[in-house]
Amino acid sequence: MTSATYFEPVQSYDFHIYYFHENKTSRTEAIQLKNKILKDFQSEIDNDSLILKVLRNESIKGPHITGFFEVDIESPAVFVKFFSWIQLNHGNLSVLVHPNSGDGFADHTAHSAWIGNKIPLITEFLVGDTSFPDFGFPNRDLITKEKFYTNPEHKGKSIMVRLLSNAGSVDSFWSEELFKSYEL
């Protein structure tokens, strides 16, 4: 039996989990879902087969029109596991599932699937995007050894914070204590 692969040119998948950041109920539901992902997928997070990222701040970043956090998956087996899990656990939150095929516009529009209600995107931000995201960026060594999130040399290189654990962030998406826990 051969191991599963994605159809070329798909290299990985992203799950954007949307919430209304100015609505306390929606934001709380998103934080609780983030915590459940950390609990139920800790082994996949530990072996870097599931990457969980949250926004550094909740200002809107196009093409997205509201707050979101993200799960990135490279392994087809982990994709199947997480896709079925998120179908059962997304609650009132909307989830955009898209491949990374090198066509950012088509991946977020024609190639995408939605779980829950579809949320409009500002697609002008995606026109001409032919890049493949660097899966797992920033990697563990960059986070822990090079102090990626606190080192001024790396400031501005990522609008997202990769979560390796739930340290310091049970009631929010992340906190400064989280960075300190990474640098021990």
Is residue 27's pLDDT more than 90? yes
In this prediction the pTM is 0.88
**Percentage, residues of the chain above pLDDT 90:** 55
Task: Report the DSSP beta bridge partners of residue 73.
Answer: 13, 50
Spatial contact of 58 and 67, defined as CB atoms under 8 Å apart: yes
Kindly report, residue by residue over 132-181, the tens digit of the pLDDT.
677 777 777 777 777 777 777 776 667 778 888 765 556 677 666 665 55
The residue count of the chain comes to: 184
Pairing of strands 50-55, 67-73: antiparallel
| Superfamily holding 12-182 | DOPA-like domains (3.30.70.1240)
- Domain assignments of the chain as residue spans, ordered by start: 12-182
Mean pLDDT of 9-23: 95
Spatial contact of 104 and 126, defined as CB atoms under 8 Å apart: yes
Choice between 177 and 99, residue whose per-residue pLDDT is larger: 99
Distance CA 45, CA 47 (A): 6
**Percentage, residues of the chain above pLDDT 70:** 87
Spatial contact of 67 and 19, defined as CB atoms under 8 Å apart: yes
Kindly report, residue by residue over 68-83, the tens digit of the pLDDT.
999 999 999 999 999 9
